[in-house]
Amino acid sequence: MSAHNEEVRQLIGARQIVLEAGADAAGQRLDQWLAARLGPDMSRSRVQMLIKQGAVRIGGRPASETKRKMAQGDSVSVDMPEPEPAEPQGEDIALDVLYEDSELIVINKPAGLVVHPGAGNWTGTLVNALIHHCGNSLSGIGGVRRPGIVHRLDKETSGVMVVAKTDRAHKALSEAFADHGLTGDLERAYLALVWGIPARPTGMVDAPLGRAADRVRRAVVPQGRDDARHAITHFTVIERFGEQQQEFATASLVECRLETGRTHQIRVHMAHIGHPVIGDPEYGQAFRTKANRLPEPLTSKVKAFPRQALHARLLAFRHPDTHLTMRFEAPIPWDMENLVDGFRKL
């Protein structure tokens, strides 16, 4: 092992790396320069991810762009996350299994369950639960005996998910989700309890999504921006609450169907049109005080609700082996149903 490689590995093992740019760094892209300094144990894609996560600072300020040009004398610090375990381990976590065969498994994910291990959630995830539940029936994804995640639900979103157990199923389902069902039978429907009553009973939100200013959340962004991603959500108002009175805040139970599947898409799109999901801590902050405009005990119910009121009600897809279209529904969970019932009394 070269002296350079040994030095790099010692740096990467530290919680924070601090580097100073020499004359040869001038004009280089930040991600290229960092990858070269930290290679071969730190790939350029890994460096880019750290920059996007806000873990890289120049002169004490977060670096905002991977292609930012370096200058001699720049002081660059990198906050290193905790190392990720080589492979997730199985854990005995109860699952609500809707269907299972040799190719795939369909589950009703509860709110509060993280889908995949990551920073701060290396254990107690759906992946850990599936490794334990499926055991030897996992034939391996990419040569590793693990479940194939083809789509995700946010930690606090409940509802139907399909997970591949074989490489063949993983490839077929990934392709279906990648083209949003345009060439197949993919169908996704969600129930969302939102503030206010949309002006029309049905509608479509066609607004590209990209990174928000904090680089963690998502936001509607101009079409021409580098990170803009095409996003379309169709919504239908199922129930209106408080429509015939003016004393209290109003709300609606809305079904949202995805034409695309971007991160936080429904939450961002509904907030964009002025009807954020009730309980959403990231995209509904401006509406938090609306709970004060409700009668008791509904005010207390809304304030105590610990998550966004969003549930993946329906998932339909073509089975990768039989090629038959399969449809699965998950009933609205008790906590969200209880909240909806409170609004029905307005």
| Residues annotated as part of the active site | 154
Return the amino acid letter for 235: F
In this structure, what are the phi and psi dihedrals at residue 131, rounded to the nearest 5 degrees? -60, -40
CA–CA–CA angle 222, 226, 227 (5° rounding) = 80
Distance CA 148, CA 142 (A): 9
Query: Tokens 């040569």, residue?
Result: 143
Q: Which residues pair with 161 in a beta bridge?
A: 107
Spatial separation of the C-alpha atoms in residues 97 and 93, rounded to whole Å: 12
At 133, list the tokens.
């539940």
Structure-block tokens of residue 51: 């920059």
SS3 55: coil
Question: Are the CB atoms for 180 and 259 separated by under 8 Å?
Answer: yes
Q: What is the DSSP letter of 126?
A: H
Q: How far apart are CA 306 and CA 112, in angstroms?
A: 9
